[in-house]
Amino acid sequence: MGIFNRKGKGKRPEDTTAAAPAVDPVAVEAREMPRIGSMPQSSPHIMEFLGMGTPGVTGEAVTIDTALRVPAIWAAVNFYANAMAALPIKVFQKNKDGTRAEASDHPAAWVLNKGANDELSAFDWRQSGFTEYTTAGRHVSFLEYNGRGELVAAWPLEHDNLTVRRMGGKLRYSYGARGQTYRADEVIDLVMMPRGNGLSARSPVYSNADTIGLALAVTRYGARFFDNGGVPPFTVSGPIRTAGGVARASEDLTQAVVDASNEGRNALALPEGHTLTPLGLDPEKMQMVEVKRFLVEEFARIWNIPPVFLHDLTHGTFSNTEQQDLHFIKHCLAPLVRKYEQQVNLKLFGRASDLYAECNLDALARGVLKDRAEARARQIMTGQLTPNEARAQDNRPGLPGGDDLLMQSATVALANPAPQAPAGGQSNPKGKDDE
């Protein structure tokens, strides 16, 4: 049995900063989660802990922290995390007649929208959770219940200190140095690209270490180039006869370059008969700008986000930028929202409950004020919305008489196309012309 259950027994998970948990001996039939990406799930940062990292083809050590130093990755992760954190989510109760009513007073509604626990607001909880989801590929939060079985808090569990295994055919989550164990119904578990065994997750950072390593290498080369005063590595040739003379010439020229850079001088004096030959290529010939722009597109593919949200308007126009906004909501955010809704509904309410949570994407899909006003007017005049329902979508209070559905008087049913008599009078008798 887990430390917490729906009857409120047990205690809150302890705060731990251990680099890796103490893994309990695995039972005979237990299968322990082996990896997230290329890192052990029990300690996905073991390479970082040892001062290394997942090396890319460039030799750069790739970790979650180093990956977030790349501006495009920072923008992608931050955009997803903030979008999911700001998304309204409501709890509804299904009625027997097929209608639904908002259960705003349900304890889960407060945890999901106001305060996840005594320390984190709902926004901060979701923001940190989806930051972890879009980098490590997994986020797990523990659900705390009181003695009446009501949800009172959600506590994030760091994936560094988490081990997932299957024991007796059931998922178990061990957390912290003491190996506190939770059942699957006691946690919200968001997994990116899960494997069929329900244990493994793939991290976009570790799975794309080569591409991220290239971005880090380009940034490091550029920083080293400009730190050198914009002077590339070079060789010196001339009438130098001894090895000691070569060493002294190298040291003197290196110091001369440093002094010239510090003093802002553009000229460098050389002894007669000596020449400097640059090594490698300059940034322009290496097309560093083009490489960095291409990497932005690569990161847009990895994180499934339109480039415009990574502040890349290279191919942006007035029309396609707006379409990318709709594309993000429909094809990028909607699947993640559905995953989040289903995980919340399964773990908070169970499979047979009439309660369910639903996110509202309308706030993100809002267009310009003129388009919204025209759309609302058309919905009101065709009887799809009442005036007060339309006002509520803009967070405006209802007005007296605004709860009735309206319809234009000229609209008639196809089954009864008989014309209506004009208001305030009668139609002319048949065969009588107007005089």
pLDDT at 130 over 50: yes
- 46 pLDDT tier (thresholds 50, 70, 90): very low
User: What is the tens place of the pLDDT at every residue in 137-152?
Assistant: 999 999 999 999 899 9
Q: How many CB atoms lie within 10 A of CB 273?
A: 9
Average pLDDT over residues 52-71: 76
Provide the residue ranges of all domains of the chain, joining segments of one domain with +: 1-232+286-365, 233-279, 369-410
pLDDT at 390 over 70: yes
By percentage, how much of the chain surpasses pLDDT 70? 69
- 227 pLDDT tier (thresholds 50, 70, 90): low
- Retrieve residue 254's tokens: 């290196």
Cβ pair 375, 108 in contact under 8 A: no
pLDDT at 33: 43
Rg (CA), the chain: 32
Q: Tell how far CA 161 is from the center of its chain.
A: 21
- 75 pLDDT tier (thresholds 50, 70, 90): very high
Separation of alpha carbons 6 and 145, rounded Å: 5
Range among 130-139, 391-400, 418-427 with highest mean pLDDT value:
130-139
| Beta strand ranges found along 158-303 (DSSP E) | 162-167, 170-175, 180-183, 187-191, 234-237, 275-278
Work out the angle at residue 140's Cα, subtended by the Cα atoms of residues 302 and 121, and round it to the nearest 5 degrees: 100
Residues in the chain: 435
Cβ pair 40, 163 in contact under 8 A: no
Grouping H, G, I as helix, E, B as strand and the rest as coil, residue 60 is coil
- 228 pLDDT tier (thresholds 50, 70, 90): low
Separation of alpha carbons 402 and 425, rounded Å: 29
- 18 pLDDT tier (thresholds 50, 70, 90): very low
Average pLDDT over residues 372-378: 82
| Mean pLDDT lowest among 77-91, 160-174, 358-372, 380-394 | 358-372
pLDDT at 67: 94
Number of H helices, E strands in the chain: 14, 14
Separation of alpha carbons 343 and 273, rounded Å: 75
pLDDT at 363 over 80: no
Chain mean pLDDT for the chain: 77
- Retrieve residue 289's tokens: 């700008």
User: What is the tens place of the pLDDT at every residue in 340-354?
Assistant: 999 999 999 999 899
